């Protein structure tokens, strides 16, 4: 093999009449020079030569060609074409046995797109003989290879057999009365997919007197082949556990795939509401769900109360807590954080913004300070838990704007007039209501002349160290 500079790139020796040469570059000129060798050797002066240019792309072939289903008179095939720069002009499909050949030409690829396997192409070969072996071949034509490319073939018998198992079984939208189960279509149907059989077994309940209910098998009838199927299972019990098994059915029942579903308790009333304060003022709640005298049975289902702060201003922040997916519908915001975790068995007081940090099974606890001027809502989420399943009883505070901590400062000169003294008394009464009025009046009758008065409404005042007999 020589390049366009007449430089020998590689030399082959073969006794066959054909040779496949690989490792060449696309869109490149090459020359093949062939010499015959006998028992005396070869003559370098005598040779055959042929020049050629490699194509821009390789042959297009039907990769992963398989008969994914078959019946008495039909074969369904599936394959994939790898991405390339070639433009496909057609696909030829043949099905032949010892007595007949059926040939189909496809020019519109969208007509053979698989619904159940989106990256694959599918085609049903019909009007075949029952229980007969066929050789099925697929050949792809492109603009660069109008004569076709590499032929792919498989052997298939026209009869149904057991389907493969389903895969990727999942559960979602679990409530205390229903659950949705989804699964992926079997990779090989080996027949006409008619239905899925869903078996539900009641394993346990928190209330043992309710276990175990008998649930009849469910027939999920199939109208078409698609990638994902789902079914809602109703009339299940809360605080219970179930096993769900899904099987595909053609003319025969396929193997089952099972998953365990734990159903959460209902949203139980809040047993103990924590005392939550912001700037030493107790938070006002929108609704009251505290249960009076909860039963011992319910107490065993209660786990913790989560104290959550939600920012109500527009923000691009996102919470990365493990609870983010579970709380999405309850909190309705991505900007929130866990400020505290209270046990349902203990009295709990939480001062928002005290900068406590720790880790918990619910994620990071970060009781960070609130920003003055921003709007917030405090959310209590009581965790109701049975095995691995959780539900949340939600109580929200009234939305509030964060204010600065109240501080009273005056730099006025001593007040002598009765009207001015009365005005200051009224102001002081508002800020420090727990100071007796008599002490305030005595303070005004003997004011200090140099120092400023500073009274913090959030902390009790220090004892007055004042000599009333010597006000100077």
pLDDT tens digits for range 355-365:
999 999 888 99
Residue 416 pLDDT exceeds 50 = no
Range of the domain at 437: 407-456
User: From edge to edge, which strands make up the β-sheet containing 167-172?
Assistant: 167-172, 179-184, 228-233
Displacement of CA 344 from its chain's centroid (Å):
30
Omega within 30 of 0 (cis) for the link into 352: no
445 and 339 fall within a common domain: no
149 and 171 fall within a common domain: no
150 and 176 fall within a common domain: no
Boundary-marking domain end, from 54, 71, 91 = 54
Torsion angles phi and psi, residue 444, rounded to 5: -75, -30
Number of domains observed in the structure of the chain: 5
Given a contact cutoff of 8 angstroms between Cβ atoms, the answer to whether 346 and 280 are in contact is no
Boundary-marking domain end, from 123, 157, 191 = 157
pTM, two decimals, is 0.70
Burial class from Cβ neighbours inside 10 Å (0-12, 13-18, 19+) for residue 66 reads middle
Question: How far is residue 464's CA from residue 451's CA, in Å, rounded to a whole number?
Answer: 14
Q: Is residue 258 part of a domain?
A: yes
Q: Is residue 468 part of a domain?
A: no
14-18, 259-263, 450-454: range with highest mean pLDDT = 259-263
199 and 304 fall within a common domain: no
Sorting pLDDT into bands at 50, 70 and 90, what band is 177? confident
417 and 380 fall within a common domain: no
127 and 180 fall within a common domain: no
336 and 384 fall within a common domain: yes
252-266, 276-290, 452-466: range with highest mean pLDDT = 252-266
336 and 439 fall within a common domain: no
Q: Is residue 287 part of a domain?
A: yes
230 and 321 fall within a common domain: no
Displacement of CA 14 from its chain's centroid (Å):
58
Indicate the range of 10-24, 176-190, 373-387, 392-406 predicted with least confidence. 10-24
Question: How far is residue 152's CA from residue 150's CA, in Å, rounded to a whole number?
Answer: 7
Q: Is residue 270 part of a domain?
A: no
**Per-residue CA distances from 350 to 279, 330, 337, 355, 361 (Å):** 11, 21, 14, 11, 19
Residue 414 pLDDT exceeds 50 = no
Query: If we measure between CA atoms, which residue out of 203, 131, 201, 196 comes closest to residue 169?
Result: 196
Residue 421 pLDDT exceeds 50 = no
Query: If we measure between CA atoms, which residue out of 257, 278, 279 comes closest to residue 199?
Result: 257
329 and 392 fall within a common domain: yes
Question: How far is residue 382's CA from residue 170's CA, in Å, rounded to a whole number?
Answer: 26
Residue 376 pLDDT exceeds 90 = yes
67 and 147 fall within a common domain: yes
Q: Is residue 469 part of a domain?
A: no
189 and 301 fall within a common domain: no
Boundary-marking domain end, from 54, 81, 97 = 54
Please, which residues have CB within 8 angstroms of residue 418's CB and are 6 or more apart in sequence? Answer: none
State residue 318's pLDDT score: 63
Residue 455 pLDDT exceeds 80 = no
Q: Is residue 467 part of a domain?
A: no
Q: Is residue 324 part of a domain?
A: yes
Q: Is residue 450 part of a domain?
A: yes
Residue 422 pLDDT exceeds 80 = no
């Amino acid at each position: 093999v020589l390049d366009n500079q007449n430089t020998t790139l590689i030399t082959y020796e073969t006794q066959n009449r054909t040779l496949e040469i690989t490792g060449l570059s696309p869109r490149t000129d090459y020359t093949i020079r062939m010499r015959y060798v006998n028992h005396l050797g070869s003559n370098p002066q005598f040779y055959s030569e042929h020049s050629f240019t490699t194509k821009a792309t390789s042959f297009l072939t039907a990769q992963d060609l398989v008969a994914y289903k078959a019946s008495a008179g039909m074969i369904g095939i599936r394959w994939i074409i790898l991405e390339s720069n070639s433009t496909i002009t057609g696909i030829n499909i043949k099905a032949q046995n010892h007595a007949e050949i059926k040939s189909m030409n496809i020019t519109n690829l969208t007509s053979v797109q698989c619904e159940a396997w989106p990256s694959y192409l599918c085609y049903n070969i019909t009007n075949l003989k029952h229980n007969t072996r066929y050789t099925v071949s697929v050949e792809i034509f492109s603009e660069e290879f109008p004569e076709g490319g590499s032929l792919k073939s498989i052997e298939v018998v026209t009869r149904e057999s057991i389907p493969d198992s389903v895969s990727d079984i999942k559960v979602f939208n679990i409530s205390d009365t229903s659950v949705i189960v989804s699964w992926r279509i079997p990779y090989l149907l080996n027949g006409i997919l008619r239905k899925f059989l869903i078996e539900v077994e009641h394993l346990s309940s928190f209330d043992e007197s309710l276990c175990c209910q008998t649930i009849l098998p469910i027939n999920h009838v199939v109208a078409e082949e698609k990638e994902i199927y789902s079914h809602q299972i109703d009339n299940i019990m809360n605080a219970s556990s179930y096993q769900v098994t899904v099987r595909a059915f053609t003319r025969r029942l396929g193997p089952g795939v099972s998953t365990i579903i734990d159903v959460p308790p209902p949203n139980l009333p809040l047993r103990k509401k924590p005392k939550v304060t912001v700037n030493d003022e107790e938070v006002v709640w929108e609704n009251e769900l505290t249960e009076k005298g909860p039963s011992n049975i319910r107490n065993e289902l209660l786990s913790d109360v989560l104290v959550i702060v939600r920012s109500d201003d527009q923000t691009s922040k996102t919470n990365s807590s493990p609870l983010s997916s579970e709380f999405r519908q309850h909190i309705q915001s991505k900007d929130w954080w866990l400020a505290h975790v209270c046990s349902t068995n203990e009295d709990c007081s939480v001062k928002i913004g005290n900068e406590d940090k720790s880790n918990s099974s619910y994620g990071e606890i970060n009781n960070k300070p609130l920003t003055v001027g921003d709007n917030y809502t405090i959310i209590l989420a009581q965790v109701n838990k049975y095995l691995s399943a959780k539900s949340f009883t939600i109580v929200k505070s009234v939305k509030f704007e964060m204010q600065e901590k109240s501080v009273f400062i005056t730099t006025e000169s001593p007040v002598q007039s009765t009207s001015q003294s009365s005005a200051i008394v009224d102001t002081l009464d508002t800020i420090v209501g727990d100071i007796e009025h008599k002490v305030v009046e005595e303070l005004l009758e003997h004011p200090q002349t140099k120092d400023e008065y500073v009274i913090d409404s959030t902390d009790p005042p220090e004892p007055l160290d004042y000599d009333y007999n010597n006000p100077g």
